Amino acid sequence: MAQWEHLLERTFLPGRIRGDQHGRIERLFRLERLRVAEMSLAPQSIEHTAAHLQMCDHAARAGAIAHVILEGAGYIEQNGARLPFACGDLTFRSLATPSTVAFTAPTGIFSIQLAVGALTLAPTSGQGVAGAMPRVVAGTSVSATAALSVLRGLAQAAHGDVCAAQRLCALSAVPWLVAGAYYDGGVEADRAPANPARWQRLMSYIDRHLFEPDLLSPAACAASAGISVRYLHALFEQRGLRFTQWVRTRRLDAAHALLCDPARRTLSVASIAYQCGFASAAHFSRVFRQHFGMSPMRCRAASVSV
């Protein structure tokens, strides 16, 4: 397990990192119902699978994780929905079901793990934690602005032990986080994504055969789930996704991880491209640059210099 992945597991919960395996925890607070970390992250995605969540205790799985985006951009995925976020936004994911957060640029965040007790301050929501998430609240909203202000004040004040005033400051962030999770205007997933069972079968099949082009055509994927090619594309469209783009992004993330892996320095860029399912090294280099903003060679050089 990479050092950064191991650190995130010890601090919050288990997950799998794709892309650049670099990040830093600037500050960490553990206060009552809150676990807060100010973090800096390289472009990467962090996936929490069902197996990862099963490693957490029941209390943790009943809670949620929120991010206040200080800089950067990306998206969260859960229950078949993908919601983009930008600087200043407030994001929420339930820990009851698998999810992914992807940072598409160098990003700074406050990451907050909320115990279920903190989220039961919303008795009129009637939908529970999982029913309200995933969710992204714009940085211009009252709840996002207030939560950011409180957390920044705490981070600037915390040197050594946390005093009573700082503890009160941290706990005052909870009502604003609850307001963002349940009430403040925001973008959230549809309550009932179409055919979640077939969607999960598709995702499992794609994960198993990500690097096998012959087994990852639309027709092969549709057959694995017992549906038509037309319905396969419809499932992706209902979630704001496109099949070809989804597969390519997953392969690019895998290639990025291999390029940054010290154990694979001897592999050529072309070899990594073919290994990750790309038929042409030139095509791979072009789409890699479009996705990450740098060439594969520059990506590898940058990872060596870190």
Q: Bridge partners of 74?
A: 85, 103
210: pLDDT confidence band, cut at 50, 70 and 90?
confident
d(CA 108, CA 89): 12
Residue 206: is its pLDDT beyond 80?
yes
Summarize pLDDT for 32-84 with one digit per residue, the tens. 567 788 999 999 999 998 888 888 887 777 788 889 999 998 999 887 778 88
More confident residue, 173 or 243: 243
Look at residue 41 in the predicted model and tell me its pLDDT.
94
pLDDT for 191: 47
Residues 122, 128: Cα–Cα separation, whole Å? 9
Residue 209 is encoded by which pair of tokens?
């055969």
Q: Measured between alpha carbons, how far is 228 from 234 in angstroms, rounded to an integer?
A: 10
**Is the pLDDT at 274 greater than 90, yes or no?**
yes
Give me the residue spans of the domains in the chain. 3-188, 196-305
User: Has this prediction a pTM greater than 0.75?
Assistant: no
Closest by Cα among 186, 192, 7 to 92: 186
For residue 219, the model assigns a pLDDT of: 94
Top-confidence residue, 211 or 33: 211
Model confidence over 126-164: pLDDT tens digits? Answer: 444 444 578 888 877 776 777 777 777 666 655 545 555
Enumerate the β-bridge partners of residue 103: 44, 74
Q: pLDDT tens across 216-253, in order?
A: 999 999 999 889 999 998 888 877 678 988 888 888 88
CA distance 108 to 146: 18
CA 254 vs CA 47, 108, 216, 230, 291: distances in Å? 13, 23, 16, 27, 13
Give the confidence band of 2 by pLDDT, cuts at 50, 70, 90.
Answer: confident
- What's the whole-number mean pLDDT along residues 99-117? 85
CA distance 61 to 55: 9
Mean pLDDT over residues 104-116, rounded? Answer: 85
H-helix segments, 25-132: 50-54, 58-61, 116-119, 128-131
DSSP state of 60: H
The SS3 call for residue 126 is coil
Domain 3-188, CATH class in plain words: mainly beta
- How many CB atoms are closer than 10 A to CB 122? 18
| pLDDT value of position 164 | 57
On average, the pLDDT of the chain sits at 79
Q: Decide if pLDDT at 125 tops 50.
A: no
CATH topology of domain 196-305: Arc Repressor Mutant, subunit A (1.10.10)
**Two tokens at 125?**
């929501």
Q: What per-residue confidence (pLDDT) applies to 121?
A: 43
Q: What's the pLDDT at 129?
A: 44
CB 36 within 8 A of CB 11: no
Q: How many C-beta neighbours within 10 Å does residue 94 have?
A: 25
Predicted pLDDT at 292: 81
Give yes or no for a contact between 39 and 68, defined as CB atoms under 8 angstroms apart.
Answer: no
Helical residues (DSSP H) of the chain, grouped into ranges: 3-11, 50-54, 58-61, 116-119, 128-131, 142-157, 164-171, 173-182, 196-208, 218-225, 229-238, 243-260, 269-275, 281-292, 296-305
